[in-house]
């Protein structure tokens, strides 16, 4: 199914959705997360990354200062936050080329700022506030990358 949509009513539900999605992800893959501040990108990433068995939920934190976190388990998972990236030059200085050296799952917050060329398939997930604790989460798998 190329498109899917959910509305979650709590952070816990969004984590649960991330865990279910994780079961359908195979490296190499880019997971683009877009949506405004507080829309739940990091929360969904917690579910995805813990669901992949790459880290405990509490160890998946917003990579705001280091910008890139890497988790090694049976799958290598990167968690990238591009919020502070202001230019293509900033993006180049992150050294993301190394990420693409071997198959991995790369979860990118503020993915609209990811303007590098990458040959890996992309799954796009847009999150939006939908009132109080509700979030609308829309998935686009135009590349047919999901299992
Ligand atoms: N249904 C929901 N899904 C996800 N988060 C929710 C939901 N309801 C409330 N929240 C709360 O909203 C906040 C979402 O924060 P989170 O850090 O995941 O957003 P973000 O999109 O990563 O923000 P940023 O752009 O700052 O990185 C958390 O405090 C979370 O507890
Ligand atoms: Mg975040």
Ligand 1 close to Cβ of residue 133 (< 6 A): yes
Residue 53 lies in a domain: yes
The residue nearest atom 3 of ligand 1, judged by CA position, is 11
pLDDT for position 110: 96
How many domains, in total, are found in the chain?
Answer: 1
Strand order in the sheet with 68-72: 3-8, 135-140, 122-129, 29-34, 105-109, 76-81, 68-72
Ligand 1: does its nearest atom lie under 6 Å from the Cβ of 79? Answer: no
Is residue 52 assigned to a domain? yes
Instruction: Give the range of the structural domain holding residue 44, as residue numbers without chain letter.
Output: 10-116+128-135
Q: Is the pLDDT of residue 74 over 80?
A: yes
Read off the CATH number of the domain in which 38 is found: 3.40.50.300
Quick check: 1 pLDDT over 70? Answer: no
Q: Which atom of ligand 1 is nearest to the CA of 10?
A: 1
Residue 122 belongs to a domain? no
CA dihedral (35, 36, 37, 40) in degrees, to 10, reads: -30
Question: Mind spelling out the 3-state secondary structure of 40-81?
Answer: CHHHHHHHHHHHCCCCCHHHCCCCCCCCEEEEECCCEEEEEE
34 lines ligand 1 (CB under 6 A): no
146 Cβ closer than 6 Å to some ligand 1 atom: no
Q: Which residues are CB-neighbours of 95 under 8 A, at least 6 positions away? A: none
- Residues having C-beta closer than 5 Å to ion ligand 2: 41-42, 62, 109
The per-residue pLDDT for range 39-56, each reduced to its tens digit, is 999 999 999 999 999 989
- Mean pLDDT rounded to a whole number for the chain: 94
Which tokens in the block code for residue 35? 């949506």
pLDDT of residue 95: 85
Q: What is the pLDDT of residues 81-131, one digit of tens each?
A: 999 999 999 998 888 888 999 999 999 999 999 999 889 999 999 999 999
- Does residue 46 sit within a domain? yes
**Which ligand has the minimum distance to the alpha carbon of residue 83?**
1
């Amino acid at each position: 199914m190329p498109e899917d949509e959910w509305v979650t009513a709590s952070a816990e539900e969004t984590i649960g959705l991330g865990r279910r999605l994780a079961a359908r992800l195979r490296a190499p893959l880019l997971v683009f997360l877009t949506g405004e501040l507080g829309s739940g990108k990091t929360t969904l990433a917690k579910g995805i990354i813990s669901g992949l068995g790459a880290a405990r939920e509490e160890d998946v934190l917003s990579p705001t200062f280091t910008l890139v976190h890497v988790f090694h388990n049976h799958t290598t998972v990167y968690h990238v936050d591009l919020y502070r990236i202001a230019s293509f030059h900033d993006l180049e200085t992150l050294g993301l080329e190394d990420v693409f050296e071997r198959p991995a799952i790369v979860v990118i917050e503020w993915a609209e700022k990811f303007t590098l060329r990458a040959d890996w398939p992309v799954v796009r997930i847009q999150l939006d506030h939908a009132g109080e604790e509700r979030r609308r989460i829309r998935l686009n798998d135009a590349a047919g990358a999901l299992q």
